Amino acid sequence: MKKMYLAMERELMVASQKNGTWQVSHYLEGMQPMCLARDPLNPERLYCGTFALGMWRSTDAGSSWHPVGDPSHFRRPPSADSIAYPNVMAVAVSSTESSNGYGVVYAGTEPSALFRSEDGGETWRELRTLKELPSAPTWSFPPRPYTSHVRCIALDPSAEGRLYVAIEAGALVRSMDGGENWEDHRFLAPIDSHTLAIHPLAPGRIYSAAGDGFIKAGTGYAESLDGGESWSRSDEGLHHHYLWGAAIDPVDPNTIIISAAASPERAHNPHNAESRIYRKEGDGPWLEANPGLPEPEGTIVPVLASNAVEPHVFYALSNKGLYQSSDAGLTWQKLEVPWHEYYLGQHQQALLVVEE
């Protein structure tokens, strides 16, 4: 059975299909979910980071949620073995690192910091050397220039302990040893990655959808073929250069989709939004791939996802609904998940699609 976890602006929606009908449940209501991850070693264990209310965990495939460990928002000051900041912006669970039967969990926060748990989220240790990088004083998130945050975490499925962290904004950094030591931002690496992806069939290849193109057209999409040592840009066919989401075909690392807008305002403001999805195969150009999607005007830039066990299938989540493509992004169909009118004015943040 397919199950969807949708981080809406003010709640977490869990949707599953039964007898052809989508059924939904709502959790973490009134909160602001920001990120989602599933433990590949314990499929019923999921994590959801929230803005201002810390990390939450489910041990029953999303049927109930509880605060992780000793959350900082429940104690002042936080205990030494908890996540020190209440704004949890990114989470990832390793398939190659395990301890006590759990996949190692990484959580990124605002202000920019990274935490590691080796016991399923009960306790956490800050990986402090991240903040000692030479580029750290330059990190700044434009809407709140006094701070920055960990926007996304990508774990390499082919190299134990290798991870990439994107700071919004200012750097994309790498660790080869589970976050104990870090290598700073490389020349030509994206500085404002909104989504990082790594494909298990393409070792060493990193995909980045970034906001860099808003400053300099042609720099929004970036790839590395050597584990982040060097980077190249491919923008042929792109007419919208502020990139947000990205997803890769589960069985074809050369088929990529991205979501894009002309500017941050057009991407995120529900009153002025206009966004599109582009698709790329191999060395070909980017082509708009919007048949079946709602009109670009009024559509907040979509979050994109794929499901490891569904070849050539993509998913797109925006304020207009949840959409599926069964032909590798060429055409789209709306999934009849119950949709409230007030979602039209909201910005969804994350989408996780799994099989049970």
The CA distances from residue 80 to 72, 76, 96, 110, 125, in Å, are 10, 11, 26, 18, 8
Does the pLDDT value for residue 249 go beyond 80? yes
**Which domain does 215 fall in, by range?**
2-355
- Alpha carbon distance, N-terminus to C-terminus of the chain: 5
pLDDT at 269: 95
Predicted structure pTM score: 0.95
The pLDDT confidence band at residue 102, using thresholds 50, 70 and 90, is very high
Tell me what percent of the residues of the chain surpass a pLDDT of 90.
88
CATH code of the domain in which 125 resides: 2.130.10.10
Q: How far apart are CA 346 and CA 285, in angstroms?
A: 32
In the predicted structure, residue 164 carries a pLDDT above the cut 90: yes
Average pLDDT over residues 61-90: 80
User: What pLDDT score was predicted for residue 274?
Assistant: 97
Supply the pLDDT for residue 73: 54
pLDDT band at 74 (very low <50, low <70, confident <90, very high): low
| CA separation for the pair 86, 109 (Å, rounded) | 8
Which tokens is 277 given? Answer: 């999805």
Structure tokens at 250: 């589960």
Total domain count, the chain? 1
Q: Encode pLDDT of 128-158 as tens digits.
A: 999 999 999 999 998 899 999 999 999 999 9
Q: In the block, which residue shows the tokens 């050369």? A: 254
In a 3-state reduction of DSSP, which class is residue 230? coil
pLDDT band at 356 (very low <50, low <70, confident <90, very high): confident
Count the alpha carbons within 13 Å of 86 in the hemisphere toward its beta carbon: 12
Q: What integer pLDDT is reported at residue 16 of this predicted model?
A: 93
Residue 219: per-residue pLDDT? 86
For 138, which DSSP code? G
Amino acid in the structure at residue 104: V
Per-residue pLDDT reduced to its tens digit, 334-351 = 999 999 999 999 999 999
**DSSP-H helix ranges across the chain:** 212-215, 264-268
pLDDT of 2 strictly over 90: no
Mean pLDDT of the chain: 94
Specify the range with the lowest mean pLDDT, choosing from 11-25, 124-138, 240-254, 274-288: 11-25
Residue type, 52: A
- Kindly report, residue by residue over 252-300, the tens digit of the pLDDT: 999 999 999 999 999 999 999 999 999 999 999 999 999 999 999 999 9
168 and 141 Cβ atoms separated by less than 8 Å: yes
Burial grade of 288 (CB within 10 A; 0-12, 13-18, 19 or more): middle
The pLDDT of residue 172 is 97
